[in-house]
Structure 1
Amino acid sequence: MSVQDREAFLAGLHVGVLGVDDPRHDGGPLLVPLWYSYEPGGLVAIETGRKTQKARLIREAGRFSLCVQDEKAPYRYVSVEGPVVSIEDPLPPVEREALAHRYLEAENAAAYLAANHQQLTDDILVRMRPQRWRTADFSAFAAEFDT
């Protein structure tokens, strides 16, 4: 993908899969699906509970990866990895509301925010600067077979 295409794809509405090094038990990385936000040229932002295993591992590693994909053909994905550049604690309410409205219709977002108000007060906002990009777009490949 071109720089413009990969940034537009990452800015699109996808559930991301966060990956962060997890040295426990000699295992692989911790992989967790989550909501995220991104504007082309900017930072990836995620929210999580301040006392979660995910938050602890992100703080220890100082970086994380995020992968997003199209689950329908023609398949595409973007994976980014980079350093954490800020952690806002507590999560700013405007960020919490923006993320809920990104993923849910207005009425459902309001209900979600109200129902999870107490839990969401325990969240932090983590921002990551994309440093390494990996992408694939199988549109051209799929077009060869679309006759």
Structure 2
Amino acid sequence: MPRTLTTTEREDFLAEPRIGVLSVEGDGDRPPLTVPVWYAYEPGGDLTFFTGTQGRTARKTRLLEDAGKLSFCVQQAEFPYKYVTVECSVLKADREPRVEDVLAITSRYLPEGHAQGFADGETADPTGTFVLFTARPDRWLSADFGSE
């Protein structure tokens, strides 16, 4: 039987550099939109992630702004299996994020030079392709399947 992670365990787990899975209410007859994203989180703080405003990702941005809430899940896919899901309220959508804010996310996933180049290039784009979302965790769900 899985056990629920403690507050410290779940916050530390979410703070690790994992790929998050974001889910937001769909529109019309479509189901919720569920997509993988890079993110940043510090224990006790808010969740941040970015998305685009053009092309295929424009729908994600619009849905997040319209719904004002989301579900976000990270997991450990190898034994001992664990997951943390947070239900969040969107606090802010920054259409002109600072390089430092984007770098706080990209540096978790890319080597230093690549992370800096990605952050510099995307924040300097005059078409404004990035929206940096800040979301407050309101409710936590978690499980550790490695515990007896």
Length-normalised TM-score, structure 1? 0.86
Query: Is residue 140 of structure 2 the alignment partner of residue 129 of structure 1?
Result: no
- SS state at 2:147 partner: helix
Query: Is residue 93 of structure 2 the alignment partner of residue 90 of structure 1?
Result: no
Structure 1 pair 114/46, CA: closer, same or farther in 2 (3 Å)? closer
Letter in 1 for 2:83: Y
Query: Is residue 51 of structure 2 the alignment partner of residue 44 of structure 1?
Result: no
Conserved? CA contact 1:45–1:126, under 8 Å: yes
Q: Render the CA deviation track for 1:31-52: whole Å, top value 9, x for unaligned.
A: 0101011110110101011341
In structure 2, runs of 5+ residues without a counterpart are none
Conserved? CA contact 1:76–1:135, under 8 Å: yes
Structure 1 pair 123/2, CA: closer, same or farther in 2 (3 Å)? same
In structure 1, runs of 5+ residues without a counterpart are 142-147
Q: Which has the higher contact order (CA 8 A, sep 6+)?
A: 2
Conserved? CA contact 2:51–2:61, under 8 Å: yes
2:6 alignment partner in structure 1: 2
Aligned-pair CA distance for 1:2: 0.3
Larger Rg: 1
Aligned-pair CA distance for 1:99: 1.3
Letter in 2 for 1:127: T
Q: Render the CA deviation track for 1:86-134: whole Å, top value 9, x for unaligned.
A: 1212122111122111111213323444665538942011111101111
**2:111 equivalent among 102, 105, 109:** 105
1:28 alignment partner in structure 2: 31
Alignment size in residue pairs: 140
Percent identical: 36
